[in-house]
Structure 1
Amino acid sequence: MVLDRIAFQGIDFDRTSSADGPSRRTFLRAGAAAGGGLLLSLSLPFVSGDVKAANSASFVPNAFIRISGDGQIVLTMPYVEMGQGTYTAIPMLIAEELEVDLKQVRLQHAPPNEKLYANPLLGVQATGNSNAIRGAWYPLRQAGAIARAMLVSAAAEHWKVDPASCRAQSGKVRHPPTGRSIKYGDLAADASRMVVPANVALKRPEEFKLIGTAAKRLDTPAKVNGTAVYGIDVRPPGVKIATLAQSPAFGGHVKGVEDAAAKAVKGVRQIVRLDDAVAVVADHMGAAKKGLAALVIEWEDGPHAELNTGEVARKLEEATLSSGAVAQNIGDADKAMASAVTKVEATYQVPFLAHATMEPMNCTVHVRKDGCEVWVGSQAIGRVQAAAAKITGLPLDKVVAHNHLIGGGFGRRLEIDGVVRAVQIAQQVDGPVKVVWTREEDIQHDMYRPYWFDRISAGLDEKGMPVAWNHRFAGSSVLARWLPPVFENGLDPDTTEGAINLVYALPNLHVEYLRVEPPGIPTAFWRSVGPSHNVFVTESFMDELAAAAKQDAVAYRLALLGKAPRAKAVLELAAEKAGWGQPLPERVGRGVSVQFVFGSYLAQVAEVEVSKDGMVRVRRVVCAIDCGAVVNPDTVRAQIESGIIFGVTAALYGEITLKGGRVEQSNFDTYRMLRMNEAPAIEIHIVQNSEPPGGVGETGTSAIVPAVSNAIFAATGKRLRKMPVDNAALKQPV
């Protein structure tokens, strides 16, 4: 999702004049740390723009960097690590400018505090939007550079020499003319008394020693040796384990419970009944599951008992027959369409999708009369604390929320529904209780990627090039619920990203969105969110236009990219590396997609084989990405690879369907994942430049689905406008 526009954009962090814009002094203050040392309080820009002086009690920085007397650098991290490499890449920014080894930087999870730790591009304390590096790129390098300058000043004062004759290197300040050196730790106390410099130059790209190199992940050793602590690993003294059954129908309630058999299970301690769920509390997960299976629960299905997927789709389709909020308008698409030589029209649909994270949903809670303690892996820990306070009625400062590593987020752990359940259960339990969802509960009570329905049309001139583009789509707005202030005039930036501001030179374009919320079905962010829908539609339809014009799919796109050189470059690179145009066996095709989302340009070519019985195998994917300055190329490759696997899974298998108000899928047998033997060969080619970083965590997911669908068309001549792949439609006639 792109939310950058709701906060500061294009801030020039090299400015020093407050009249022209925020200066470095605005964002960074220094002081003495408790116990001695240098404490740097880094204030990232946030939505309100309120920035206070360092000596003001209301000063609210976003992150804190402490240099201790032993020379160790501790970064209080406002983001959470969920496999994306944030806990390595962000310390690289500090280490680069501070001139220390990456291993010297230590991290600790930031406590919940929306004022102190708000993501500068979101305005709330959250990890998402593929923007951790984008948000930290200037401020954290700035922090390292100013810290380095203050340490150098402290050393120069100690030696009574010109600071310009000193330099920082490997955690020390050196004075080359005399060969003297002092470790950072020995300078920390003196540095804390230095005046914060008004203007410190950041390193130029050619001076980087660490940024741009393949640094080893700092979190890997603990994950390998088992010492890493995820939310599900937490075991406070006396903890009990609970699992639960929630109403199988959306909006349903518990009508009655027969629990005698469950209570008879060895290890079961308690049955907790809520309005729409029942939990079994036990000594261990095995007993809890057995107890749950022994319960006889009578459910009242509620108002959505007859809801099914077809009904949802019909309502969205009907909605697109009416006008919506205008997301973008260029020229006069209707007038251009009226005079077009050729007209192409299509409708597209994408289904509800679950997250299916590897670490099951879990939350550990201890509710006491005078306080509440929560242990969880969350992408939005501030919301966790706020939810627990609201449910218990406790003041915010009486709720302690501990954040932990996350075993897969994909947007699922931006939500707090699991925390709400755990707190509700813990209120009836004496002592701490860990609530763990079974995979069935996870899939059938997820918060889903929205279902969307699209109508799209284009008019082509005598050369087959588009002169008009009309796109109208309907579906749920996650941001309208999750961050209401950014839903304005019927629009939000997440829902429309990938449908507007296309890389192509389209002289007349009109895009409309209609917000239609499915009855009773909770929707949420899902890896690449809006672009996961919009890029599939726009890039599949662009392929349709190329076919209607009887032109090569890559050449057709290149002809429209004259004003987007970075997009053109990644497309040319991906096509070249994929061997575009080279012959392929029968029923094997190549498909292409191009996008600019999350601040990065990316092109993918998928090579797909379709068997005679309609089964699809993605054999190879070639990706070229221009994500601006690259901090850790290994992270970029890993993120794109995982995004591609995630997207191929959705393209081939991903679909949540409803019948009788219930989700029909329940586990990985009915909600399939891509298997190891099905994984394609993946090649990643990174375009090097010094532009500010773009996002990489979600870009691979949104690009791969249209590349696969376009490859299927190339292999079979059959166009798929609805995901996932319909294997029956691809069978070769006998």
Structure 2
Amino acid sequence: DFRRLDSGLKATGKQDYTIDVKLPGMLTAMVAHPPLFGATVKSFDPAAAKAVKGVVDVVQISRGVAVVAENTWAAMKGREALTVEWDESQAEKRGSAQLMQEYLAAAEQPGEAVAAHGGDVEAALKGAAKVVEATYQFPYLAHAALEPLDAVAHKNGEVLEIWGGHQMPDLYQAVAAQIAGIDPAKVKLTVLKTGGGFGRRAVTDADIVVEAVETAKAIGWRAPVKVLWTREDDMRGGRYRPLFVHKVKVGLDEGGKIVGWHHRQVGQSILIGTPFEGMMVKDGIDATSVEGVNDTPYAIENFRSEIVNAKVGVPVLWWRSVGHTHTSYVMETMIDEVARASGRDAVELRRELLKDHPRHLAVLNLAAEKAGWGTDLPKGKARGIAVHESFGTVVGEVAEIAVNAQGGFKVERVICAVDCGTAINPDQVRAQMEGGIGFGLGAVLHEELTLTNGRVDQANYDAYLPLRIEEMPQVETYIVPSTAMPSGVGEPGVPPVGPAVANALAAATEKRVRILPIAKGLSA
């Protein structure tokens, strides 16, 4: 194992992030954003904002109105004093509850695009001895990183320098050059550590970079400008994991074997309308929407995957493990439900369906072995298992939960087996699995971002609830020995934990959770 060079700095609070950047003469800006997605500035009155001590300018940019000040506090107070009239004629005004009802209705209709098709699903379902049906609901999710969005822009002569936690530096360089009217070679990006990214700093429209560069340009490039978002800006700023509905029908024969699987999804595309549409969207199918379903490793002869691309004005984005965050939950809980309906053990059924996929089998068997699958547990405890591949890495997880007399439960232990090819740094692999499990567990337990009449309801960690430290389970990670090419570990630990926990909960209580988060699903 190799020691990380930044561990000491992070542990002692000495690591510098974008929020820590200080340049001579630097000004700080905060942007007043529209309260509704799609709204624009109609007019604004800067007088009260300019009267705040420390405010040096108020300028309109493409994404709102920026209050520029000598320090953060002055920028915040100036923005509070600012008067802006918004044009909401083209804004998204539907709430998440209304959108969910529209999605559920759309899920009853044929999909507009077919992502995968094999055999005759309709005939297989019609002739099935038993059909297992389920409809799943997934909420919007915020990235909720500890460091809100921020960036610093400074034009020194012919060179424009930008400091930030850039996850798409090439794109940001091109966008910044266009705004500044200079050659991209004249744009220098300083890529800093991020206080959490999870995909939020890889934005196809370069949002925070646009704000920093446009603000610096609007004041005549006279000083470096740091644009800083508050927690509330970050939570209500869009770019969420999309809202999704899955409707699944699985046909079984008399012996409990799967004879047909029909899978329909309704949700927003992350990539349609972005620079990546030409590369990653084909025939109306956004690969990030259906990944984990259309490429399932399970041997199912009659299989059909459909997608309905919802048209919604809420900005969405990849969120740690992207489409796998919802597709894995559906696939792995449905497989578990099929096992229960056919009287099969969940691991044995997976072994049969994965017989042609040795990597998946190895991960499944290792996780089951280390968890003691099939052995008795004390009363009130139960196990659930899930196996999923994402970003070239196969991860199997067994969740062990304990239920209490009040109907609640705690995830006490997660056993993780991972095949990521050659493990360059095993300690880093283990760390990423642990972090991914905690990240994914918080999401399935109680994270949900909602909108009312187009306005985001949650603003901070009091209402949007990532995992609390007392909820973090004991995690054991086992790496499958391999000499294959290394693959990703930053995201693949996330997808299996949700279905593993849900399957354990079903084993303990007979309750199937199909509305996420689990806290909401249990009370539905």
TM-score norm. by structure 1 comes to 0.67
Contact 1:591–1:714 (CA<8 Å) still a contact in 2? Answer: yes
Give runs of aligned pairs for residues 590-609 of structure 1, distance below 5 A. 590-609=383-402
Describe the superposition over 1:656-706 as per-residue Cα deviations: whole angstroms up to 9, x where unpaired: 111121111101111111111111111111111212222211111111111
The equivalent of 1:471 in structure 2 is 263
The equivalent of 1:506 in structure 2 is 300
Distance in 2 of aligned mates of 1:447 and 1:340: 42
Residues 483-492 or 701-710, more deviating: 483-492
The equivalent of 1:711 in structure 2 is 504
Distance in 2 of aligned mates of 1:239 and 1:412: 25
Describe the superposition over 1:144-197 as per-residue Cα deviations: whole angstroms up to 9, x where unpaired: xxxxxxxxxxxxxxxxxxxxxxxxxxxxxxxxxxxxxxxxxxxxxxxxxxxxxx
1:304 aligns with 2:91: yes
Distance in 2 of aligned mates of 1:260 and 1:685: 62
Give unmatched runs, 5+ long, in structure 2: none
The equivalent of 2:132 in structure 1 is 344
The equivalent of 1:388 in structure 2 is 176
1:528 aligns with 2:321: yes
Q: Secondary structure at the match of 2:124?
A: helix
Q: 1:434 aligns with which of 226, 240, 251?
A: 226
Q: 2:477 aligns with which of 674, 679, 684?
A: 684
Contact 2:153–2:216 (CA<8 Å) still a contact in 1? Answer: yes
Q: 1:458 aligns with which of 231, 238, 250?
A: 250
Q: Residue 383 of structure 1: CA displacement?
A: 1.1
Q: 2:197 aligns with which of 384, 388, 409?
A: 409
The equivalent of 2:100 in structure 1 is 313
Q: Secondary structure at the match of 2:518?
A: coil
The equivalent of 1:564 in structure 2 is 357
1:494 aligns with 2:288: yes
What is the identity, as a one-letter code, of the residue corresponding to 1:319? A
Contact 1:587–1:716 (CA<8 Å) still a contact in 2? Answer: no
Distance in 1 of aligned mates of 2:385 and 2:336: 8
Q: 2:145 aligns with which of 348, 357, 365?
A: 357
Q: Residue 509 of structure 1: CA displacement?
A: 1.3
Distance in 2 of aligned mates of 1:696 and 1:413: 18
Q: Secondary structure at the match of 1:269?
A: strand
Describe the superposition over 1:213-236 as per-residue Cα deviations: whole angstroms up to 9, x where unpaired: x11113334445666442223222
Distance in 1 of aligned mates of 2:520 and 2:158: 58
The equivalent of 1:444 in structure 2 is 236
Distance in 2 of aligned mates of 1:232 and 1:503: 43
Q: Once superposed, what is the RMSD of the aligned Cα atoms?
A: 2.2
TM-score norm. by structure 2 comes to 0.93
Q: Residue 648 of structure 1: CA displacement?
A: 0.5
Q: Residue 603 of structure 1: CA displacement?
A: 0.8
Describe the superposition over 1:250-270 as per-residue Cα deviations: whole angstroms up to 9, x where unpaired: 112334545444333332222
Q: Residue 447 of structure 1: CA displacement?
A: 0.5
Distance in 2 of aligned mates of 1:728 and 1:531: 20
Q: Secondary structure at the match of 2:519?
A: coil
Q: Secondary structure at the match of 1:449?
A: coil
Structure number with bigger Rg? 1
Q: Secondary structure at the match of 2:428?
A: helix
1:326 aligns with 2:119: no
Q: Secondary structure at the match of 1:700?
A: coil
Describe the superposition over 1:311-364 as per-residue Cα deviations: whole angstroms up to 9, x where unpaired: 222332333312332222222222222221111111112111111112210011
Describe the superposition over 1:2-21 as per-residue Cα deviations: whole angstroms up to 9, x where unpaired: xxxxxxxxxxxxxxxxxxxx
The equivalent of 1:379 in structure 2 is 167
What is the identity, as a one-letter code, of the residue corresponding to 1:721? R
Distance in 2 of aligned mates of 1:581 and 1:532: 27
Q: 2:345 aligns with which of 552, 561, 570?
A: 552
The equivalent of 1:42 in structure 2 is none
Contact 1:646–1:701 (CA<8 Å) still a contact in 2? Answer: yes
The equivalent of 2:423 in structure 1 is 630
Describe the superposition over 1:187-214 as per-residue Cα deviations: whole angstroms up to 9, x where unpaired: xxxxxxxxxxxxxxxxxxxxxxxxxxx1
Give unmatched runs, 5+ long, in structure 1: 1-213
Count residues in correspondence: 517
Residues 457-466 or 611-620, more deviating: 611-620
